[in-house]
Amino acid sequence: MKNYIFKRIILLIPMLIGITLITFIIIHLTPGEFTKINMQMDTRASPDSLARLRQLYGLDKPLHVQYFEWLKRFIKLDFGESFIDNRPVMDKILERLPATLLLNIISLFLIFSFGIIIGVTSAVRRNSFYDRLMMIFTFIGYSMPAFWLALILMLFFGVKLELLPISGMKSIDFEEMNFFEKIFDILSHLILPVFVTSFGGLAYISRYVKSSMVDTLSQQYIKAAYAKGLPEKKVIYRCALKNSLLPLITLLGLSLPGLIGGSFIFETIFAWPGMGRLAYEAAMSFDYPVIMGVVTIAAFLTILGNLIADVLYAVVDPRIRYK
Amino acid sequence: MNKMILTGLTIICLLVMMAVFAPFLSKYDYKEQNILERLQPPSAKHLMGTDEYGRDVFTRMLYGARISMSVGLIAVLISAFIGIILGAISGYFGGVIDNIIMRFVDIVLTIPTLFLILMLVVFLGPSIFNIMFIIGLTSWTDIARIMRAEVMKLKKAEFVDAARLIGLRNRNIIIKHILPNALSPVFVYMTFGISGAILIESGLSFLGLGVQPPEPSWGNILTAGKDYIHSAWWMVAYPGLAIFLSVFGFNMLGEGLRDYLNPKIRKENL
């Protein structure tokens, strides 16, 4: 087991190099460039000043030199400074992290709890009216374009009923509020984004739980539990549930990158000041250091999430451990 | 045939007919502006009302169906083409080739797909052609994995041994004997891929990075309507509904096909 984890961690290095190299190549070989975009706005700019600007940002050096310089700094966990406001990329990321974490932890919690409940109850009452209803309900969430749903909800709850704030994370007078008002303010800003994110994610988890539960219920040991005379509730909730929820651990690990990376579409609709929006702004303004930073961190988290999922799975399921 | 396949196919057929017969279903031109009739609510004259330039929304929806659905279809065909070839090579030959291809897949899978798409669209510019290719070039990894697993299973089958014994070349064995048998799970995935691509295009449109107006796509009709949401609900409601219906239809079809092709579930439903 230890050997296995060690091997996986060693594999991280070539993976990260591959990912950052691909991102780097995409950034630098595509036609748009940070300096050119800036120059377009100024008609008096001469080719000479363009060259000086490129030199200033280090964009005039050969590509491999630029990449190695980036790599050298990355080893010291330094992602450089943003082209836009010259602040360290790390600071910008850390500043956006809490908003994304807050939104996604709550959504993920709701998705998993409702997903498990819907999945298990539909598996138990398979092919019933309830099962079909839940399937259609989750399917609608899965097929709904999130920004459309968001628009409609914003219009209805925010504008027509004036019940909920429609964008951002805090009200304008946030600083003057006392502690409880502050919490209430953030919570009310959270309701719509959390609902939209969770509704879309529900189908995946509930389907997964359902098929895993259906599978478990057809196992021999469940028949044995019935044969022994255990009441149905005990068989389902004590014997079957535990075993059918095991594979969920994998999904929990796989949701790690989304948890921290956020989604730029959701965050843009609700003007949520998180990581996804930072990534979006960086891409739109050709802010190379921030793009590299965001992609590297997201990729690292994905690999880490996979690793954690595999290790946890082996820890809870002895059948895998001994293979 | 189960109900899900039927529901999905019905919805998709309706939308495809709308797209194909667009010129016969509407007497307006999707680009023609008429400032005197801007922001008209739905009426007998304009079934879905008019937009901020007085263009007929129903007509734009019909032509939007063409663009949105072909973006979905072509993007998926591109990703299937890459995925099937790489997956088949990887699964059939195994060893070093397999290792190289699969590590490459791992790396591409690790870069957040949506952000990769966003980045490429910003850098290369949002034309219909670019969007199809970018979505296609970034979403082949799952198909490659599915294909590889299928081919690895099939290459141990007796009929493949037989083909090898009579001296067929590798290329012929893969194309003529393995591919036709390995494609069904890929088809299931492709139907989900189409709905995914339609959603991605509309998401990009929402950020102003999708198909560019005046060419209509469901996404950009909706995006234009967003600014008039208080006064002209029809500009938001109909394109949103169309995106939802098409995604719902393709997902239903995919889900139904998956059940249909899975003998364990099929037996139970019979």
| A157 near B CB under 8 A | no
Q: Which of B110, B120, B195 sits opposite A299 (nearest CB)?
A: B110
B37: in domain = no
- Here the tokens at position B260 are 């249909």
Confirm if A290 and A89 have CB atoms less than 8 A apart.
Answer: yes
Position B107 scores a pLDDT of: 86
Token output for B31: 């680009």
Phi, psi of A86 (to 5 degrees): 60, 20
Q: Which of B108, B118, B255 sits opposite A283 (nearest CB)?
A: B118
**If you ran DSSP here, which 8-state letter would residue A33 be given?**
-
Q: What is the pLDDT of residue A38?
A: 63
**Residue B25 lies inside a defined structural domain of this protein:** no
**Is A23 within 8 Å of chain B by CB?**
yes
Query: Sorting pLDDT into bands at 50, 70 and 90, what band is A260?
Result: confident
Phi-psi region of B24 (alpha: psi -120 to 50; beta: other; left: phi over 0): alpha
pTM of the predicted structure, to 2 decimals? 0.87
Q: Let me know: does B193 contact B201? Beta carbons within 8 Å.
A: no
Q: Which of A30, A146, A264 sits opposite B115 (nearest CB)?
A: A264
Q: What is the DSSP string of B129-188?
A: HHHHHHHHHHS-HHHHHHHHHHHHHHTTSHHHHHHHHTT--HHHIIIIIIHHHHHHHHHH
**Six-digit token pair at A156?**
């209805």
CA–CA gap between residue A102 and residue B163 (Å, rounded): 58
- Residue A142 has its nearest CB partner, among B111, B203, B251, at B251
**CATH number for the domain including B202?**
1.10.3720.10
Residue type for position A217 = L
Angle made by CA atoms B179, B183, B185, in degrees to the nearest 5 = 150
Which of B3, B104, B119, B235 should we substitute to test contact with A (largest number of A Cβ atoms within 10 Å)? B119
Per residue in A105-137, pLDDT (tens digit) is 899 999 999 999 999 999 888 888 999 899 889
Cβ of residue A268 closer than 8 Å to a chain B Cβ: yes
Average pLDDT, consecutive stretches of 10 residues, N- to C-terminus, chain B (270 residues): 86 92 81 76 79 82 91 95 94 91 88 87 88 92 92 88 89 87 89 92 89 87 85 86 93 88 59
Among all residues of chain B, which has the CA nearest to that of A132?
A: B4
Q: Which residues pair with B50 in a beta bridge?
A: B56
What is the spatial distance between Cα B263 and Cα A54, in angstroms, rounded to a whole number?
A: 61
Give the per-residue pLDDT at A321: 63
pLDDT value at A211 more than 80 = yes
Tell me if B105 is assigned to some domain: yes
| Burial label, B242 (beta-carbon count in 10 A; 0-12, 13-18, 19+) | buried
For A286, nearest residue in chain B (alpha carbons): B123
- B3: number of Cβ within 10 Å: 11
pLDDT at residue A79, as a whole number:
83
Cβ distance B232 to B39 under 8 Å? yes
* pLDDT of the residue at B270: 43
Q: Collect all residues with Cβ–Cβ distance below 8 Å to B242 and sequence separation of at least 6.
A: B15, B61, B64, B65, B68, B218
Residue at B241 is within a domain: yes
Do the chains contact at A148 and B124, CB–CB below 8 Å? no
Q: B255 is in which domain, residue-wise?
A: 68-269
What integer pLDDT is reported at residue A37 of this predicted model? 64
Cβ–Cβ gap A30/B123 under 8 Å: yes
Distance from CA of A75 to the nearest CA of B (A): 19
* Token pair for A67: 């990449």
Closest approach of B135 to chain A, Cα-based (Å): 15
Q: Which residue has the higher pLDDT, A12 or B246?
A: B246
Strand-pair partners of A88: A81
Kindly state whether A298 is in contact with chain B, defined as any CB-CB distance less than 8 angstroms: yes
Name the minimum distance, in Å, from the CA of B174 to any CA of chain A: 30
Nearest to A135 by CA among A113, A120, A118: A118
- Burial letters B17-40, b for 16+ CB under 10 A, else e: ebbeebeeebebebeeeeeebeeb
Give domain status of residue B146, yes or no.
yes
Number of other residues whose CB lies within 10 A of the CB of residue A257: 21
R_g (Cα) of chain A, nearest Å: 25
Closest to A24 (Cα-Cα) out of B261, B67, B111 = B111
**DSSP symbol at A81:** B
- Give yes or no for residue A322 having a pLDDT over 60: no
A102 Rama sector, left if φ>0, alpha if ψ -120 to 50, beta otherwise: alpha
Nearest to B238 by CA among B25, B49, B10, B11: B49
What 8-state DSSP symbol labels residue B40? P
Residue B11 falls within a domain, yes or no?
Answer: no
- Please give the C-alpha separations between residue A23 and each of A69, B54, B126, B163, B164, in angstroms, as whole numbers: 15, 43, 19, 43, 42
Interface residues from chain B to A (CB-CB < 8 Å): 103-104, 106-112, 114-116, 118-120, 122-125, 195, 199, 202-203, 206-207, 222, 226, 229-230, 236, 240, 243-244, 247-248, 251-252, 255
What is the nearest CA distance from B111 to chain A, expressed in angstroms? 5
Report residue A42's pLDDT band, with 50, 70 and 90 as the boundaries: low
**Residue B30 within any structural domain of the chain:** no
Distance from CA of A77 to the nearest CA of B (A): 19
Scanning the structure block, which residue is given the tokens 């959270």? A190
Number of domains in chain B: 1
* Amino acid of residue A317: D
Mean pLDDT score, A4-18: 83
- Measured between CA atoms, the residue of chain A closest to residue B194 is A143
CA atoms within 13 A on the CB side of A292: 30
> How many CB pairs (< 8 A) connect A and B?
110
The shortest C-alpha distance from A260 to chain B (Å) reads: 12
Helix, strand, coil percentages for chain A (3-state, nearest 5)? 75, 0, 20
d(CA B34, CA B37): 6
Of B133 and A159, which is predicted with more confidence?
Answer: B133
Q: Taking CB atoms and an 8 Å cutoff, what residues of chain A touch B117?
A: none
What integer best gives the mean pLDDT of chain A?
A: 83
**Chain A residues with CB inside 8 Å of B109's CB?**
302
pLDDT, position B87: 94
Single-letter amino acid code for the residue at A319: R
Q: Which residues of B are less than 8 Å from A284 in CB distance? A: 122
Q: What is the CA radius of gyration of chain B?
A: 22
Alpha-carbon span A120 to B118, nearest angstrom: 37
Three-state secondary structure string covering B72-99 = HHHHHHHHHHHHHHHHHHHHHHCHHHHH
Question: Which residues are B56's β-sheet partners?
Answer: B50
The residue of chain A with its CA nearest to that of B4 is A136
Residues of B in contact with A280 (CB under 8 A): 118, 207
DSSP string for A204-269: HHHHHHHHHHHHHHTSHHHHHHHHTT--HHHIIIIIIHHHHHTTHHHHHHHTHHHHHH--HHHHHH
Measured between CA atoms, the residue of chain A closest to residue B120 is A26
Q: Within an 8 Å CB–CB cutoff, is residue A200 touching chain B?
A: no
Angle between helices B179-206 and B57-93 (to 10 degrees): 140
| Contacts B207 to A, Cβ<8 Å | 264-265, 268, 280
CA dist., res. B270 & res. A44, Å (int): 75
- Identify whether B169 is part of a domain: yes
User: Which residues face A81 on adjacent strands?
Assistant: A88
